[in-house]
Amino acid sequence: MIFNGNDGNAAGKKSISILINNGLDQSTNQNTTAQMEQLCTFIKQDIQKRLRSLGDVTFITDKKDFTADGKDFLLIYNILNYNPGSSAARIMVGFGAGACSMDIEYELIGSDKKSITTNKDGCGSGRGWRAVVEKLDKQLVQHISGFLK
| Domain spans, the chain | 2-148
Interval 87-102 mean pLDDT: 59
pLDDT score for 100: 84
Arithmetic mean of pLDDT over the chain: 81
pLDDT digits (tens, 9 = 90+) for 13-64: 789 999 999 875 544 545 567 888 899 999 999 999 999 999 999 999 999 9
How would residue 133 be classed by pLDDT, with cut points 50, 70 and 90? very high
What is residue 144's three-state secondary structure? helix
pLDDT score for 5: 45
| pTM more than 0.75 | yes
CA angle at residue 57 from 69 to 75, to 5 degrees?
Answer: 75
To the question of domain 2-148 being in CATH 3.40.50, the answer is yes
pLDDT score for 84: 77
pLDDT score for 68: 78
| Rounded Cα–Cα distance for residues 17 and 89 (Å) | 38
Pairing of strands 115-125, 2-4: unpaired
pLDDT score for 16: 94
Asked whether residue 2 carries a pLDDT value surpassing 90, the answer given is no
The beta-strand segments (E) located in 110-140 are 115-125
Count how many Cα atoms sit within 13 Å of the Cα of residue 69 in the half-sphere of its side chain.
6
| Rounded Cα–Cα distance for residues 30 and 33 (Å) | 5
What is residue 57's three-state secondary structure? strand
